[in-house]
Amino acid sequence: MEDQVLESPSEDEAVDEDVAHFHFHISKNFTRRIDQYLTDRISYLSRAGVQRLINDGLVKVNGRVIKSSYKPHDGDEIDMVAPPKPVNELIPEPIPLDIIYEDEHFLALNKQADLIVHPARGRWSGTLVNGLVFYGQKWSSLNGNWRPGILHRLDRNTTGVMLVAKSDEAHWRIARQFENRTIQKTYIAICHGVPPLLADVLDMPIGKDKYIRERQAVRKIENGGRQAITKYEVREMFPLLPTAGLHNSEHASDKKLAAPPSGFSYIKLTPKTGRTHQLRVHMSAIGFPMVGDTMYGGRIIESGDFRFERQALHAAEITFVHPATLKTMTIKAPLPPDILKLLELLRPKSP
């Protein structure tokens, strides 16, 4: 017997939302490297892809991280975490879409929380794009088959207004405005504490965090950071509520972050650039993380049966030039129920 692969889905190839788990039991000594072995066993992964997984510590032999040059031996137990096998086409799904404007050129929607914009990293269903494909077939193709109509993105748990192009011409006309930074986007956030300057411009480059893959961080340009500029303005200030509890997330890296300041503030944010997690990183960097944003130092708020555990960030409005009429227009997205409830909780009650 050359080698054995356990066939039980619960042990060998368990697939969750984002990844597949593989387990191999080796019953002979091999002369070929482990990256070659795994590429042969999992046909949809390239050798370069397998090597990236090994470098990221996602392949272990007998519980230990190894190098691509390792050669499997008799008795080895190999465990691997990898992207699941990709699908060949987008699956239309009846995901609710809150359409706030639509014409023959584009539509604007108010994205709900807990919704990824497009398929990525093995998530092939349950995304906004799956809902768009179900809603209609007329979308621009400039971003490829997996991102039909998508002009820009919001984080999974950020709510608010998004534009989706229906034609290629509308797509490039609006995309040029994003590229030239002539589109004005306005967000609102609820943050821990109150900045001493009630209005300011934050000019701090942002790049990938050195230690945690999912995070971004303020980085010098020479260390991989890219220019990031955010204007903020404090609109309301709230005292600390004795009836509300603050909680950490369960992620080990989140628990290491310093406790946020007391009190809260309702802040208008206007980004001049569009870096990943820009608003979240900037507010955290000056010491006032967003409520619920445990990745960057925020805390979960709980009061009675109400629990707020996502970043309190909403894309409230967007101003741009219509791709056909060439007239300036502003589209606004109303606040979602959970942020309205949070504001109700924070605002002092009338006597």
Domain extents in the chain: 3-82, 87-180, 184-317+338-351
CATH 3.30.2350.10 assigned to 184-317+338-351: yes
Instruction: Could you list the beta-strand ranges (E) of the chain.
Output: 3-5, 14-15, 20-26, 59-61, 64-65, 77-82, 99-102, 106-111, 159-165, 184-192, 199-203, 206-208, 216-218, 229-238, 245-247, 264-271, 300-303, 306-308, 313-321, 328-332
Rounded CA-CA distance 181/329 in Å is 16
pLDDT of residue 97 exceeding 70? yes
What pLDDT is stored for residue 350 in this prediction? 61
User: Widest CA span of the chain, in angstroms?
Assistant: 80
Q: What's the average model confidence in pLDDT over 80-100?
A: 83
pLDDT of residue 275 exceeding 90? yes
CB 263 within 8 A of CB 237: yes
Rounded CA-CA distance 271/162 in Å is 15
pLDDT of residue 62 exceeding 90? yes
pLDDT of residue 268 exceeding 50? yes
Q: At 122, is the pLDDT very low, low, confident or very high (cuts 50, 70, 90)?
A: low
3-class secondary structure, 63? coil
Rounded CA-CA distance 294/215 in Å is 11
- 3-state SS of 165-198 is ECCHHHHHHHHHHHHCCCCEEEEEEEEECCCCCC
Q: Which CATH number fits domain 87-180: 3.30.2350.10, 3.30.465.10, 3.40.1190.10, 2.60.40.3710?
A: 3.30.2350.10
Q: What's the average model confidence in pLDDT over 16-26?
A: 76
What's the mean per-residue pLDDT of the chain?
88
pTM, two decimal places: 0.76
CATH topology of domain 3-82: 3.10.290
The dihedral region occupied by 291, where left means phi > 0, alpha psi between -120 and 50, and beta the remainder, is: beta
pLDDT of residue 351 exceeding 70? no
Q: What's the average model confidence in pLDDT over 306-321?
A: 97
* Structure tokens, 243: 């009836």
Q: At 131, is the pLDDT very low, low, confident or very high (cuts 50, 70, 90)?
A: very high
What pLDDT is stored for residue 88 in this prediction? 59
pLDDT of residue 252 exceeding 80? no
Catalytic residues: 155
pLDDT of residue 8 exceeding 70? no
Same fold, 87-180 and 184-317+338-351: yes
pLDDT, tens digit, 9 for 90 and up, residues 133-152:
999 878 888 877 778 889 99
What pLDDT is stored for residue 309 in this prediction? 93
**Which residues make Cβ contacts (< 8 Å) with residue 319, sequence separation at least 6?**
183, 184, 185, 186, 328, 329, 330
The dihedral region occupied by 149, where left means phi > 0, alpha psi between -120 and 50, and beta the remainder, is: left
Rounded CA-CA distance 141/199 in Å is 40
3-class secondary structure, 50? helix
What pLDDT is stored for residue 13 in this prediction? 33
The residue to which tokens 């969750």 are assigned: 16
CB 64 within 8 A of CB 57: no
Q: What's the average model confidence in pLDDT over 26-47?
A: 90
What pLDDT is stored for residue 248 in this prediction? 84
